[in-house]
Structure 1
Amino acid sequence: MIGQTWQSEIRTFSDPKTGREIRQLTASGNNYHLYFTENSFDAQRDEIIFLSDRASGEERAPHEHPCYNLFRMDLGTGVITQLTDEAAADDEGRGVSSVTKTPDSRIVVYRAGRGLLKKLDTTTGETTVIYEEAGGYTIGAPSIAANRRYIAFCRNEDVQIADGPNYTGFEERFYRVKDGRVTVAYLDGSGWYDVFKDTHQVGHFQFCPDDSTLGTFCHEGPWNLVTQRIWLLDFVAREAKPCFRQTARDSVGHEFWTNDGYIFFDDRGPGHDGTITSERTQAVVTAVQVNENAMTPFVGLADRNGNVVRRIDMPYYCNHYHANPDNTCLVGDDVDDLVLIDITGEVARPTLLCNHRTSWHTQSAHCHPTWSWDGTRILYASDFGGRINLYLVRP
């Protein structure tokens, strides 16, 4: 029920490896934050927006498709308030998914069920349908333009390949999808159109943080099979151009826009598909072990023309990275731990932050560590104990 509240579930404990204080924020049902490119933290208030199945009336494990809705947490008091009440669309749950928001959390856009995109005004509580899929395509995660007039998102032809734990269907979808599109929908619900059509599976659309005519999308699939991952899309010219032109040795992914408008990316080198499973192996290239590296993995920063302006070699790769506000420090989720990586100098200097203890079984159980807008806290998820919960740690 919208407006229902839960009292604080916060508890603190010392990390078993580093002794740092960890705040476990949630303890009821499954709870996970927005994908790290979207940032659950509120830039103005001491709050986060997150997804939970606590109101579903069902007890489901993370891989059993819980019915999620949106919630707000006051990080000072721990009080949780329900923001949406989307019903399960089918036997696979499918309440709320694929969420984005403005930094101040005033506007939240999310996918409801399989085919609707909705806008929630968190101040008024008003919800508007801004896109409805007529059939034949699957909808990717939306991104809100800086001018707050429209969103963009990826659509791919529906090739009827199920997804699931441990990257089920990841490789097969890469080969089967031949019709991918980037679509714009107006936030007032007045219409939509396809701004770009491709012959590949596309995904991870993200607007530039300060330019509503520029964004990035990717050719989605196992990183070692994708020949050019990151593309810059000019909405005025409706043209795409490559960002960091790849060679045969590059396996690139997990790109995001930094706060100051650079494109961050991760390059793991030959034989790396960009995955990790609950067996601590890759999902597609099973013969190559995680961090069995044929070249030195590195991260890079590219400008708005797609040119690399900085490269930082890494002693090993993490599954995801997120940069602090001034791009001096990364947080990464290694197989078992979160690490802080100082990138102020020519050599990356990693230090252990804490032991995350997640299984990597489902996408929602991936840690996806995310810096707060002011760089004072890091939010992450873990399914330690069998349910996904949210945790907060100071760097």
Structure 2
Amino acid sequence: MRNYLTAALLGAAAVLPTLGARAQAHLETGGQQPMPAAEWVDQATGHKVQRLTPLDGGNGSFYFHNNPFLKTVAGQDEMVFYHTDEQGQQLRLLNLQTRQVRPLTGYYKRIVGEIVGRRSHEVYYQVENQVYAINADTRKNRKVYAFPSDFPGSISTLNADETLLAGSLGGAEAREIFKKYPAKSDFFNRIYDAKVQHILFTINTKTGKREEIYQENTWLGHVQFSPTDPDLLMYCHEGPWGKVDRIWHISIKTHATKLMHQRTVDGEIAGHEFFSPDGKTIWFDLQQPRSVTFYLAGAPVAGGPERRYQLQRNEWSIHYNISPDQTLFAGDGGDPGQVAKATDGQWIYLFRPAGDQFQAEKLVSMAHHGYKLEPNVHFSPDGKWVIFRANFEGKEQVYAVEIAKAAS
């Protein structure tokens, strides 16, 4: 591990306007590279946009269902993010109140994992076969586990009481397909068609004991623990969504599995599932059939009828998310090459439930963003901002858009 960056190195770049500061100008988002300031009002929507990360390299936020937030000992909100520059990659922390950036890990060639323990303030990450936990308050780093050469797994989620990590591993044939065909368009159907054995496993965060809890000769992935029930693990059957009953959960104690959504329409697809903050609902993109009618649907974990909110084609999003108080939703839109084939879908959206529909509001124009980088929306912990990543300034950076309209 290389030495940490000093606070002095980061200080000049980290001093940005606070979340309460007024925007200086109404501008076309991404109309200039870089934008002339770190804060502006999107001229197409009237909402304030702020760049949260300094322009000192590439900076990326977490995948949409992975929590990046924790509370400091002083009660402030921090966000963990990825930073990449000529030295390599590291995890950093951004204080959402003071806007100060500080390094969390040292530099590595590549980091994966991105798991934040809200209770312990330990951030779990993986470098090659080594799994570490670093404390966000003390920066004490500890080794949790080393995957053996015959089990090259990777971690993806932490349970609610922070006693177990979990992940999935495909067999040797699946790993060879990934190696030979690195592009998703090339490996996706091959992995599905191969019907290779996949394993779900857990790792004890204190003892490092690994347990294999489930296996099946199909592609398993998108592994997520419930945010409230430490015994409940969600996973999916990966592959072409129209061919799989995708969304499942399993009990860590009993290993009993349950299908969460049964397809009923020819050509129906469901996926990009995520838990509600209270753990009572699994939300997912539902299309009945594919590319025709669009919903965000919620399946109760305890069973019962689903809730469905219909969207228009242009409002469909690659990923959705839900606010901390569960009253609002957000989406990251999509370009015409996505499944919805939307002609005007390149927006960060806010969705307000209204009966069985969503009332959509455009927050940020993403016309200058390249959607090969998925924006992956998150609500800020106070529910007042939608945080996303984008490349409309050239390199990947992390931004926030205020839900309230900017003062004119």
Give the TM bin, normalised by the shorter chain. 0.7 to 0.9
Cα distance in 2, alignment partners of residues 168 and 108 from structure 1: 33
Helix, strand or coil at the partner of 2:70: coil
Structure 2 partner of 1:328? 327
Q: 1:326 to 1:30 in 2, by over 3 A?
A: same
Alignment of 1:1-395 (within 5 A): 1-2=3-4, 4-5=6-7, 6-7=10-11, 8=14, 10=16, 11-26=38-53, 27-43=55-71, 44-54=75-85, 56-57=86-87, 67-88=88-109, 95-103=110-118, 106-113=121-128, 115-136=129-150, 139-157=153-171, 158-162=175-179, 169-176=187-194, 178-225=196-243, 227-247=244-264, 248-261=266-279, 262-271=281-290, 293-294=291-292, 296-305=293-302, 307-316=304-313, 317-335=316-334, 336-356=346-366, 357-361=368-372, 365-395=373-403
Helix, strand or coil at the partner of 1:85: coil
Helix, strand or coil at the partner of 1:353: strand
Cα distance in 2, alignment partners of residues 138 and 224 from structure 1: 30
Q: 1:170 to 1:307 in 2, by over 3 A?
A: farther
Structure 1 partner of 2:19? none
- Residues 120-140 of structure 1, C-alpha deviations (whole Å, 9 max, x = no match): 222332223323222355534
Instruction: Kindly indicate whether the alpha-carbon contact (under 8 Å) linking 1:244 and 1:308 is maintained by their aligned counterparts in 2.
Output: no
Query: C-alpha displacement at 1:376, in angstroms?
Result: 1.5
Read off the aligned partner of 1:350 and give its amino acid letter.
A
Aligned residues: 352
Cα distance in 1, alignment partners of residues 396 and 104 from structure 2: 20
When the two chains are superposed, the root-mean-square deviation of aligned CA atoms in Å is 2.2
Q: 1:177 to 1:208 in 2, by over 3 A?
A: same
Cα distance in 2, alignment partners of residues 360 and 215 from structure 1: 30
Instruction: Kindly indicate whether the alpha-carbon contact (under 8 Å) linking 1:146 and 1:212 is maintained by their aligned counterparts in 2.
Output: yes
Read off the aligned partner of 1:244 and give its amino acid letter.
H
Instruction: Kindly indicate whether the alpha-carbon contact (under 8 Å) linking 1:203 and 1:220 is maintained by their aligned counterparts in 2.
Output: yes
Read off the aligned partner of 1:245 and give its amino acid letter.
Q
Cα distance in 1, alignment partners of residues 152 and 351 from structure 2: 36
Query: C-alpha displacement at 1:141, in angstroms?
Result: 4.4
Instruction: Kindly indicate whether the alpha-carbon contact (under 8 Å) linking 1:244 and 1:307 is maintained by their aligned counterparts in 2.
Output: no
Higher helix share: 2
Structure 1 partner of 2:340? none
Q: 1:380 to 1:146 in 2, by over 3 A?
A: same
Structure 2 partner of 1:285? none
Helix, strand or coil at the partner of 1:172: helix
Q: 1:68 to 1:105 in 2, by over 3 A?
A: farther
TM-score for the superposition, normalised by structure 2: 0.80
Read off the aligned partner of 2:57 and give its amino acid letter.
G
Query: C-alpha displacement at 1:257, in angstroms?
Result: 0.6
Cα distance in 1, alignment partners of residues 347 and 142 from structure 2: 40
Cα distance in 2, alignment partners of residues 306 and 201 from structure 1: 25
- Residues 129-184 of structure 1, C-alpha deviations (whole Å, 9 max, x = no match): 32322235553442111111111111222234246566552332232351111111
Helix, strand or coil at the partner of 1:245: coil
Instruction: Kindly indicate whether the alpha-carbon contact (under 8 Å) linking 2:130 and 2:145 is maintained by their aligned counterparts in 1.
Output: yes
Query: C-alpha displacement at 1:105, in angstroms?
Result: 7.0
Cα distance in 2, alignment partners of residues 73 and 104 from structure 1: 18
Cα distance in 2, alignment partners of residues 127 and 120 from structure 1: 4
Identity of aligned residues (%): 22
Q: 1:9 to 1:306 in 2, by over 3 A?
A: farther
| Consecutive unaligned residues in structure 1, runs of 5 or more | 58-66, 89-94, 272-292
Helix, strand or coil at the partner of 1:343: strand
Helix, strand or coil at the partner of 1:256: strand
Query: C-alpha displacement at 1:326, in angstroms?
Result: 2.9
Helix, strand or coil at the partner of 1:232: strand
- Residues 270-323 of structure 1, C-alpha deviations (whole Å, 9 max, x = no match): 44xxxxxxxxxxxxxxxxxxxxx33x1111111224544311222222111001
Instruction: Kindly indicate whether the alpha-carbon contact (under 8 Å) linking 1:243 and 1:307 is maintained by their aligned counterparts in 2.
Output: no
Read off the aligned partner of 2:327 and give its amino acid letter.
T
Cα distance in 1, alignment partners of residues 360 and 349 from structure 2: 6
Higher CA-based Rg = 2
Cα distance in 1, alignment partners of residues 269 and 122 from structure 2: 35
TM-score for the superposition, normalised by structure 1: 0.83
Instruction: Kindly indicate whether the alpha-carbon contact (under 8 Å) linking 1:358 and 1:367 is maintained by their aligned counterparts in 2.
Output: no
Q: 1:308 to 1:328 in 2, by over 3 A?
A: same
- Residues 216-275 of structure 1, C-alpha deviations (whole Å, 9 max, x = no match): 0011223233x211111111111211111123432111111111211111112444xxxx
Helix, strand or coil at the partner of 2:160: coil
Instruction: Kindly indicate whether the alpha-carbon contact (under 8 Å) linking 1:232 and 1:306 is maintained by their aligned counterparts in 2.
Output: no
Cα distance in 2, alignment partners of residues 222 and 35 from structure 1: 20
Instruction: Kindly indicate whether the alpha-carbon contact (under 8 Å) linking 1:69 and 1:85 is maintained by their aligned counterparts in 2.
Output: yes
